[in-house]
């Protein structure tokens, strides 16, 4: 049972980080379709950085930088130049896949990808927390702590700070936000860049913390899954944690089913998150709690 929970948490952690970043971006009014690319870039820069500098701390920092870079690209094209959010995000994803694969091979100088083998991040048993009955051992991996903390922090930020209020206002009604003194363009740009950084961290969980290397396209659609989970969670950080855990549990369950030979198709299980997201959206219909001005280009140069 503990095993199962541990697997669920393990699968959920990168999702959650990406979803948190996505919530920042979407609440500010920019569709977070670029999460996949942001995660992948973060995964790449984390591993390469840690390998080149022999320090996993540097790797983590570079994950933030890498993801933020993709965020900056999306911000410039979609927010500053007002291109369509969705198409920009998708394109950024494609570009990130190509760029990471390319750079991986270029760095080696010989056209073959460098084989980087790092040991996965060592767990950090924090004294008090480690002794918690069930939850303790699950939190060991350091970036998992960050994810949990980040979830709570984002919730507090959105609901209890002036900056969070301004961000939410920009996503709901940028004109009103402007009338109250905010600068919607700047808010959206910052939100998208921050989204990139946090999603990049999610990628680092995969590459640095869990696996220890980078392979082409290793995020494998997790970015889109994170998007689905933040929709299901109706753009709330705490609910997103639950949603990601649920998706993680579903996948862990499916893996176990396979070992037991139960004839539930793994593909059907994998479809579940997307179908659930669709169902939630369809159920919400017109009353969806989507930020009201999401995806709408800013009408003036502020």
Interface positions, 224-253, toward another protein (CB under 8 A): 224, 228, 231
Q: Least distance (Å) from another protein to the CB of residue 139?
A: 27
Give dist(CA 294, CA 268) in Å, integer: 31
Contact with another protein (CB under 8 A) among 6, 166, 211, 255: 166
Task: Tell which one of 53, 55, 87, 256 touches another protein (CB under 8 A).
Answer: 87
* Neighbour count for residue 285 (Cβ, 10 Å): 7
> Which among 3-11, 51-59, 61-69, 280-288 is the span making contact with another protein, rule CB under 8 A?
280-288
Residue ranges in 13-72 that form contacts with another protein under rule CB under 8 A:
31, 33
Among 126, 130, 257, 281, binds another protein (CB under 8 A): 281
CA-nearest of 208, 166, 240 to 18 is: 240
Is residue 258 close enough to count as binding another protein by CB under 8 A?
A: no
Q: Binding of another protein at residue 260 (CB under 8 A)? A: no
Q: Name the residue with tokens 């109706």.
A: 234
DSSP state of 290: S
Q: Look up residue 79 and give its DSSP letter.
A: I
Part in contact with another protein (CB under 8 A); list of ranges 18-26, 39-47, 145-153, 294-302: 294-302
Whose structure tokens read 């179908």? Answer: 275
Tell me whether residue 125 or residue 299 sits nearer to another protein (CB atom): 299
CB 62 within 8 A of CB 49: yes
Q: Which is closer to another protein, CB of 83 or CB of 257?
A: 83
Q: Looking only at residues 116 through 155 of this chain, which bind another protein when binding is defined by CB under 8 A?
A: none
| Cβ 235 to another protein shortest distance, Å | 11
Residue 134: C-alpha distances to residues 29, 141, 241, 250 (Å): 38, 15, 17, 19
Nearer to another protein, 127 or 260 (CB): 260
Does position 263 interact with another protein (CB under 8 A)? The reply is no
The SS3 call for residue 218 is: coil
Match 């290397």 to its residue by tokens.
Answer: 213
Residue 215 as a binder of another protein (CB under 8 A): the answer is: no
Tell me the C-alpha to C-alpha distance, in Å, between residue 236 and each of 148, 192, 291.
14, 17, 11
Return the closest-CA partner of residue 220 out of 48, 39, 70, 59: 39
Nearer Cβ to another protein (79/121): 79
According to CB under 8 A, which one of 15, 116, 182, 208 is a site residue for another protein? 182
The answer to whether residue 218 forms part of the interface with another protein (CB under 8 A) is no
The answer to whether residues 37 and 278 touch, using CB atoms and an 8 Å cutoff, is no
Q: Element (H or E) spanning 125, and its range?
A: none
Paired tokens of 233: 């969670």
Give the residue with the Cβ less far from another protein, 256 or 289. Answer: 289
């Amino acid at each position: 049972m503990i095993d199962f929970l541990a697997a669920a948490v393990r699968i959920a952690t990168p999702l959650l980080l990406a979803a948190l970043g996505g919530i920042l971006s979407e609440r500010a009014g920019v569709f977070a379709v670029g999460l996949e690319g942001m995660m992948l870039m973060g995964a790449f820069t984390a591993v390469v950085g840690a390998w080149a500098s022999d320090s996993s701390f540097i790797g983590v920092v570079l994950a933030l930088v890498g993801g933020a870079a993709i965020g900056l690209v999306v911000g410039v094209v979609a927010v500053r130049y007002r291109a369509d959010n969705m198409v920009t995000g998708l394109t950024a994803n494609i570009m990130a896949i190509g760029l990471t694969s390319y750079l991986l091979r270029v760095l080696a100088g010989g056209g073959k990808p460098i084989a980087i083998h790092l040991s996965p991040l060592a767990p950090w048993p924090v004294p008090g927390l480690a002794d918690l009955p069930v939850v303790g051992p699950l939190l060991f991996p350091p970036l998992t702590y960050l994810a949990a903390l980040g979830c709570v922090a984002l919730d507090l930020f959105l609901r209890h700070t002036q900056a969070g209020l301004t961000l939410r206002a920009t996503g709901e009604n940028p004109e009103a936000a402007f009338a109250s003194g905010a600068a919607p363009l700047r808010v959206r740009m910052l939100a998208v860049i921050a989204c990139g950084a946090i999603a990049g961290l999610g990628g680092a969980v995969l590459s640095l913390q869990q696996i220890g290397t980078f392979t082409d396209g290793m995020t494998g659609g997790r970015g889109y899954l994170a998007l689905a989970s933040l929709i299901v969670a109706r753009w709330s950080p705490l609910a997103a944690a639950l949603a990601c855990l649920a998706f993680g549990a579903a996948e862990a369950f499916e893996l176990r089913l396979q070992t037991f030979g139960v004839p539930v198709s793994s593909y059907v299980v994998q479809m579940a998150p997307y179908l659930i997201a669709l169902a939630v959206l369809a159920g919400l219909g017109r009353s969806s709690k989507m930020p009201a001005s999401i995806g709408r280009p800013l009408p003036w140069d502020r």
